[in-house]
A and B are shown apart, each in its own frame.
Chain A
């Protein structure tokens, strides 16, 4: 789908045209946000913030250049702002020293499964945004490392290296933390 005419109109202030562009890109925006933030609530806020920024800054986009990289940078900036904002809120809300963490009580099988799922997501969050992106492209979306490298403008070797590190870190956590919970469940 050629969005160039819509983009040109959008840069001149046509919000209906911009909305049509967004309709097309929204799944990608959401995917980028989730992979960058690796937290559903944070990613949802980042998507919202990305749309605000898009409305504010679309006039700075040069339609002669590719839109994808420009949009990706904008979404990542929005993600960074959300992460920084969350860090600040966390900083302000951290309980005083000496406070005991909430007790971890095992209630039933469902809870164990929920804990296992939470562990997987926590493990995913420990990967760097780049590793999450590569893991998504190759292991979740099924691209080859070469295709992922082309998409990310990296060398296939670098992609394989990052993929190796991502898989290893994630699966090590699955082996160490998730498997015991699945066994209990």
Chain B
């Protein structure tokens, strides 16, 4: 038995079956060291888990839970993160958040006053109502799938309707020739804030509990696109506010709008970098899966060749899988390596078992 074969077994076997490799392990310090490291680290993991499971903190945690359960659901601080939105609600978003186009140019200048116009104060109340609609951490636990869908749809629809109302009011204010430019610039800035908040709300939306990981992946990207559209509108609106403030010689308003745009852009850049790192990790994983797939194909082919009496249906299944693996490997379809590898790994024991391996 070569070190390479033993090492492969060490990577795959139950640790209590390492004794089957005893002869080699006694003669080979390198493989013995790996076997010992695997045993030790798995023991460490087991120990760590048992320590955690048996930690006695229930009394304190129960007391805290009783307190928190009486309080309203926790609100997360404003920011961006990768929570997801149900696929079922994607259609609602598409309808509710159709692009409304950039805000119109600001009206001509007029005299200014220091008092916030009543119209803008009224709009702020509507904005607060929009922001108060919780989308994160909705109480979906214990609901049926249909019930969960309904809750998510209704909440999103409510949020989107509130957004459209606030947007219409702010645009009307910005277009109103009777309003002062400084407040119209302020309204533009606030419109940017509203778009940004909508992007955040989409990303923060309660994660649906029933989606499989692959479904979740597909629609994370869909939700990200929809949130991006809102964030892009926010940046565009902040830029309009900045330009307008400069035209009106309002340096403080220009600086504030510019800072809001810059901050959001930096957050988006960070998200892009994180996504890029995740893509790179996925590529590396696919590369490892590709190597494993090639090796398993080779072993499976050898098992089939050395086992002429294998049941025809089982042979057919294995050959079909091998053919598929060959096609996928030659086409370089890296995204399919992992799934195929799982299928092959699941099949391999029954083939080698039937062949006496």
Contact = CB atoms under 8 A, between A and B. Distances in A.
A161 B338 CA distance: 11
Nearest to A138: B14
Interface in B327-348: 338, 341-343, 345-347
Interface in B182-222: 207, 209, 213
B110 interface: no
B14 A139 contact: yes
Contacts of B137: 81
Given A61-B142, A179-B33, A87 B81 contact: yes
B66 A43 contact: no
B345 A161 contact: yes
Interface in B154-199: none
A117 to B, nearest CB: 6
A97 B273 contact: yes
B122 interface: no
Nearest to A96: B266
B48 A121 contact: yes
Contacts of B342: 158, 161-162, 165
A165 B139 CA distance: 35
A101 to B, nearest CB: 13
A44 to B, nearest CB: 8
A31 B64 CA distance: 20
Given A22-B58, A52-B65, A31 B41 contact: no
Interface stretch (B49-57, B235-243, B306-314): B49-57
B42 A15 contact: no
B270 interface: yes
B34 interface: yes
A81 B76 CA distance: 10
Nearest to A124: B45
B262 interface: no
Given A120-B41, A164-B345, A179-B37, A34 B53 contact: yes
Nearest to A28: B53
Nearest to B342: A161
Contact of B37 (A77, A162, A174): A174
B349 A160 contact: yes
A158 B346 contact: yes
B119 to A, nearest CB: 34
A61 to B, nearest CB: 6
B68 A52 contact: yes
Interface string B251-289: 000000000000000010111011000000000000010
Interface string A41-77: 0011001100111111100110000000010011011
Contact of B141 (A26, A57, A168): A57
B354 interface: no
A161 B343 contact: yes
A103 interface: no
B348 to A, nearest CB: 8
B142 A34 contact: no
Contacts of A52: 65, 68-69
B82 interface: yes
B64 A43 contact: no
Contacts of A111: none
Contacts of B116: none
Contacts of B209: 73, 76-77
A178 interface: yes
Nearest to B82: A87
Nearest to A139: B42
Interface in B58-102: 58, 61-62, 64-66, 68-69, 76-77, 79-83
11 contacts: A30-B53, A40-B52, A44-B57, A52-B65, A55-B69, A87-B82, A88-B76, A157-B350, A158-B342, A165-B342, A182-B37
Interface of B: 7, 10-12, 14-15, 33-34, 37-38, 40-42, 44-46, 48-49, 52-55, 57-58, 61-62, 64-66, 68-69, 76-77, 79-83, 137, 139-143, 207, 209, 213, 267, 269-271, 273-274, 288, 292, 338, 341-343, 345-347, 349-350
